[in-house]
Structure 1
Amino acid sequence: MPQITEVTLAYKSTVPIESLPTITSPEEAAAYLRSIWNDDHLELKEEFLIVILDNMKHVLGHSLISSGGSTATIVDTAQIFQVALLGKANSIILAHNHPSGNKKASTADVQLTKRTVEAGKLLGIPVDDHIILIRSGYTSLRNEGLM
């Protein structure tokens, strides 16, 4: 019989948990996102990322999921949860920008959010919010009742 490789996972943080930022509101989410977003891309191309949170809403990390053109980017739900699972997420925040400066959620944004919320329910990883970031503000899909 051929030798089969064992797959192992490990997680080791080098940062004390009490020093991590927390996100408990859309305002805090938008402020954190502004601090990490590549400002040169905000009005150039649409990007989608997730923020990984622990059970106390400490930010464990973030990951760029996709980068597209000036009007859209393709988002793979499986990739979102691959990162969330490997990052030891208790919940996640979805985020993307609208280079057009329009902060209103599109039909595609709402559909993606609802699909991701449903997938998160199956995996036990809730989606806390979906933030659309623009130069002059943001929209919280949770606050808009679109989740």
Structure 2
Amino acid sequence: MKTQENSNWKIVSEIDLVYRTKVKNSERPHVTSSRYAYTLLKDSWDPGKIEFLEQFKVLLLNHSNRVLGIYEASSGGITGTVVDIRLLFAAALKASAVGLILAHNHPSGTLIPSDPDKQITRKIAQAGELLDLRLLDHLIVTSENYYSFADEGAL
């Protein structure tokens, strides 16, 4: 006798963890400074949005600090954006990243981190420790310059 419980296995979703790249490791950008990370990130930003709305991106790095990819974690409004840390770490784990450089823009052009900026940085750093994912830096990006939490000793 078949019961409803026994046939439910057919409707369970399958999870497949795959990271595909066409870029050789030797061809990936090698991040050696906050300035270079800023350059890579700024080049990935839509120039029409950097001074218009706030976005949050993550540079995913391998053990040699070579870039595996850039993940756009969120896109928000004029004065803020909400980052779902679970999705951020899902992307990092799927790419087999071991290092993270966070970045978000301030459309106002200010380079001073807000209290929410500091809070999300701490929260991601703590979560990363549990997963052996190092938070290397958090950059505030504008079209003209950047602020580095690591360079300023705020990490």
TM over 0.5: yes
- Pair 1:105-2:119 in alignment: no
Question: Structure 2 residue aligned with 1:73, among 66, 81, 101?
Answer: 81
Residues 102 and 137 of structure 2 are in contact (CA less than 8 Å); yes or no, is this contact kept in structure 1?
yes
- Pair 1:82-2:90 in alignment: yes
Q: Secondary structure of the equivalent of 2:141?
A: strand
Percent identity, please. 36
Q: Secondary structure of the equivalent of 1:93?
A: strand
Deviation sequence 1:8-51 (CA, Å, 0-9, x none): 32333221110110112101110111111111101000000111
Give 1:44-55 correspondences, 5 Å limit: 44-55=52-63
Mind listing any 5+ residue stretches in structure 2 that lack a counterpart? Answer: 1-5
What is the alpha-carbon distance in structure 1 between the residues aligned to residue 74 and residue 21 of structure 2? 25
What is the alpha-carbon distance in structure 2 between the residues aligned to residue 82 and residue 11 of structure 1? 12
- Pair 1:9-2:29 in alignment: no
What is the alpha-carbon distance in structure 2 between the residues aligned to residue 108 and residue 9 of structure 1? 32
Q: State the aligned residue count.
A: 147
Q: CA deviation at 1:78?
A: 1.2
CA RMSD of aligned residues (A): 1.2
What is the alpha-carbon distance in structure 1 between the residues aligned to residue 105 and residue 114 of structure 2? 12
Residues 42 and 143 of structure 2 are in contact (CA less than 8 Å); yes or no, is this contact kept in structure 1?
no
What is the alpha-carbon distance in structure 1 between the residues aligned to residue 18 and residue 104 of structure 2? 29
Give 1:1-147 correspondences, 5 Å limit: 1-2=6-7, 3=9, 6-147=14-155
Deviation sequence 1:102-131 (CA, Å, 0-9, x none): 011111101110110000000110111000
Deviation sequence 1:63-110 (CA, Å, 0-9, x none): 111111111111111111011111111111100000000011111101
What is the alpha-carbon distance in structure 1 between the residues aligned to residue 19 and residue 115 of structure 2? 37
Which one has a bigger Cα radius of gyration? 2
